[in-house]
Amino acid sequence: MALRLSKGFLTITQAGAIAASFFSATVHSANLIDVYQQAKESDPIYYAGFHQHQASIEIYQQAKAVLLPNIKLSYNRTDTTQDIVSSDNAVFNSGKTSFPTTALNLSITQSIYSFSNWAYFKQAKEEVKRVAAELEEVNQSLIFRVAEAYFSVLGEQDNFVAIAAEASALEKHFELVSNQRSSGLARMTDFLDAQARFLQAQARKVEIANDLQDAIQALREMTGVLPDSLIALGNELQLVKPDPYVADNWLELAAEQNPLVLAKRSAVAVSLQEVRRQRGGHYPTLDLTMTQNNQETEGSLFGGGSEVDTRTMMFTLTVPIYAGGAVVSKVRETLNLQYKAQDELEQTLRANARETRAAFNGVVGSISKVRALKKSLEAYELAVDAKRTSYQSGLESGVSVLDAERDLFIARSDFSSARYGYLLNILSLKRAAGTLSLVDLEDVNTYLQGDAVPTDVQDIFSQIEELSF
C-alpha cells in the first residue's frame, strides 16, 4: 500500500499551516519600537550604564571645587570661671569672677598656584568625555540588543513551526507504515526507518521549543514584561547595499565615531593628565588665606570686657624637597598606566576595524545569501510539487516525498534566518561605525508586516511534556 499525500494523509505543508495557526491569534501585538521603548524603561544593563555616567560626571564638579575658594565660618562661646589664688597685684590680690567669651571667625582659602590641581581639573574634563562616550555605547548597545532578541524569538518561532510540521507529517507516516507492517505490506526496515525519523523529529521539536522559550525569556530579561505577541517580518524585504559601498570609508568612520574608540581615546587623555597631576608633586604650591575674627569678652578677672576685630592675610608657599621617593614612584606608576591605556586604545581600534569590516562584508554577503536562498526555496517548492506528482504516478516513494518536504522546510527556515541576519548585519555595521540610532531601528521596523507571534507558548510546552516515545 503506497503512502498517499492527497487522501487520508497530512502533508508537511498542511501540518505547517496548522502549527502556524497557533501563532496567528493575539490580543496585543508589539513591534520593534514598542519593545525598545519598554526596554529603555526597564533594562537593568541600560540603567546601570546610565547611573554610572551620572556618577562619573560628578568628578568634574569635584575637580572644579579644588580651584574655587574654600570659605568657612565658625562660631564659638567660652564660659570662663577664674579664682585668684595668689597675686603680686596689690589691687587684685584676691577674688573670683565668671564671664563669657564669644568668637566669630570667617576664613577664605584660595589656591593661587597648584600644578596638580589644574591637571586634575583637565583630567576631569576628559573623564566627562569618556563617560559620555560610554553612555552612547550603552544607548547603541540597547538598540542592537533589542533587535537581536526580537529577531531571535521570530527565528526560533520559524524553526518551531517547521519542526512541528515535519513531526506531524512523520507521525502520520509512521502510523501508516505501522498499519502496513501489521498487514504484512511493509518491511521491517521501512518500519524502523519511519520510527527513527519520527523520534528524531520529536527530539528536535523538544530542543527547538526550549530554544524558543529561552529566546522569549531573554527578551523578558530586557523589558521586564512581555507583550502578548510580536509582529513578524513581512514578505517584502528591500535589500540595500551599504552606503557608501566602500569598506574603507566605513573603517574611517568607525575610527572617528565609534563610542568605544572615543572612550578609549579619552581614557588615554585621562591617563596623561594623571601623569601630569603626579608630577605636580615636584612643584611648589601657593595659597592665600584671609581671615576675619571678632572676639568679644564680657569681663575679665582684672578688669572690664573687650571686643577685638582681627584681620589677617597670609600667603603660604610650599616647596616640596623630599618625600621619600613617593612622587617619583607615583609618576612611574601613572606612566605605565598611560602606556596601558594607549595599548588598550590600539587594541580597540584593531578590534573595531575587524568588526566593522566583518559587518560590512556581512551586509554584502547576506544580500547575496538572501537572494540565493530565495531561489533555492523556489527550486525546492518546484521539486516538492514534482515529487508529489511522481508519487501519484507511482514513480516516487512516500519517503522520498517526505524527504523533499523536510528539505523544503529547512530551506524556508534558512531563508528566514538569512533575512533576519541581513537586518542585524545592517544594524551591526552602523553600530561598529558609531552611527546607530533609533532612526535605524525605525527603518527596520517598517519591514514588520507579517502575522503576530504570541510570546506565551505554554500550550506547546505542555504538548511536549505529554510526548511519549
Domain range summary for the chain, segments of one domain joined by +: 12-83+93-465
What CA–CA distance (Å, rounded) separates 392 from 9? Answer: 13
Mean pLDDT for all residues in the chain:
86
How many C-beta neighbours within 10 Å does residue 357 have? Answer: 17
Average pLDDT over residues 173-196: 83
| Average pLDDT of the residues in 270-281 | 95
Pseudo-torsion of CA 299, 304, 305, 306, nearest 10°?
A: -160
pLDDT digits (tens, 9 = 90+) for 250-259: 999 999 999 9
Instruction: Check residue 176 and give its pLDDT.
Output: 81
H/E stretch holding 127 reads helix 115-182
Helix, strand, coil distribution of the chain in percent, nearest 5: 65, 15, 20
Q: Is the pLDDT of residue 6 over 70?
A: no
Could you give the percent of the chain with pLDDT greater than 90? Answer: 58
Measure the N-to-C terminal CA separation of the chain; round to a whole number of Å: 26
Residue with cell 581639573: 121
Residue 79 host element (H or E)? strand 70-84
Beta strands at 306-318 and 285-297: parallel, antiparallel or unpaired: antiparallel
Query: To which residue does cell 491569534 refer?
Result: 25
Better-predicted residue by pLDDT, 463 or 2: 463
Contact 36, 182 (CB under 8 A): no
| Predicted confidence (pLDDT) per residue in 373-388, tens digit | 999 999 998 998 898 7
pLDDT value at position 16?
A: 46
- Locate 352 and state its grid cell: 573595531
**Are the C-beta atoms of residues 208 and 160 closer than 8 Å to each other?**
yes
The Cα–Cα gap between 132 and 426 comes to: 24
At residue 155, does pLDDT exceed 90?
Answer: yes
Q: Per-residue pLDDT for 118 more than 70?
A: yes
Q: In this predicted structure, what is the pLDDT of residue 396? A: 76
pLDDT tens across 311-331, in order?
Answer: 999 999 999 999 999 999 999
What is the CB neighbour count within 10 angstroms for residue 4?
13
CATH class assigned to 12-83+93-465:
mainly alpha
Residue 242's pLDDT band, with cuts at 50, 70 and 90, is very high
Which pLDDT value is given to residue 126? 95
- 462 or 417, greater pLDDT: 417
In the structure, what pLDDT confidence band is assigned to residue 121 with cuts at 50, 70 and 90?
Answer: very high
Tens-digit pLDDT profile for residues 42-96: 999 899 989 999 998 899 999 999 999 999 999 998 887 777 766 666 555 566 7
Only one residue has cell 520593534, namely 32
pLDDT for res 32: 95
